[in-house]
Amino acid sequence: MARCFVTRRLPGDALGRLAAEHEVDVWPGRRPPAPAELRDRAASADGLLCLLTDRIDATLLAGCPNLRAVSNLAVGCDNVDVEAVRARDIALGYTPDVLTETTADLAFALILAAARRLPEGVAAVREGEWLTWEPGWLLGRDVHGATLGIVGLGRIGRAVARRAEGFGMTVVHSSSNDGLPLPDLLAAADFVSLHCPLTPHTRHLIGAAALAAMKPTAILVNTARGAIVDQRALAAALHTGTIAGAALDVTDPEPLPPGDALLEAPNLLVLPHLGSATHATRERMADLAVDNLLAALDGRPMPHAFAL
Torsion angle of the four alpha carbons 253, 259, 261, 262, in this order, in degrees rounded to the nearest 10: 60
Q: Which residue has the higher pLDDT, 205 or 78?
A: 205
Predicted pLDDT at 97: 92
In the structure, what pLDDT confidence band is assigned to residue 168 with cuts at 50, 70 and 90? very high
* Average pLDDT estimate for 216-232: 98
* Average pLDDT estimate for 22-28: 97
Asked if 196 and 167 count as a contact pair (C-beta separation under 8 A), the reply is no
* Average pLDDT estimate for 87-113: 97
Predicted pLDDT at 91: 98
Predicted pLDDT at 37: 97
Q: Which of 13, 27, 31, 19 shows the shortest CA–CA distance to 279?
A: 13
| Identity of residue 201 | H
DSSP string of 61-108, one letter each residue: HHT-TT--EEEEESSS-TTB-HHHHHHHT-EEE---SSSHHHHHHHHH
- pLDDT, tens digit, for every residue of 235-261? 999 999 999 999 999 999 999 999 999
In the structure, what pLDDT confidence band is assigned to residue 142 with cuts at 50, 70 and 90? very high
In the structure, what pLDDT confidence band is assigned to residue 131 with cuts at 50, 70 and 90? confident
What's the chain's average pLDDT?
A: 96
Predicted pLDDT at 120: 96
pLDDT > 80? residue 219: yes
Q: What percent of the chain stands above pLDDT 70?
A: 100
Predicted pLDDT at 133: 84
pLDDT > 90? residue 126: yes
Q: Which residue has the higher pLDDT, 189 or 178?
A: 189
pLDDT > 90? residue 136: yes
Residues 6+ apart with CB under 8 A from 56: 48, 50, 70, 72, 79, 80, 81, 85
Can you list the domains of the chain with their CATH numbers? 3-98+279-297 (3.40.50.720), 100-270 (3.40.50.720)
* Average pLDDT estimate for 108-129: 96
pLDDT > 80? residue 308: no
Q: Catalytic amino acids?
A: 225, 254, 273
In the structure, what pLDDT confidence band is assigned to residue 132 with cuts at 50, 70 and 90? confident
* Average pLDDT estimate for 265-277: 97
Helix 100-115, helix 155-166: angle, nearest 10? 50
pLDDT > 90? residue 177: no
Cα–Cα distance, 254 to 234 (Å, whole number): 16
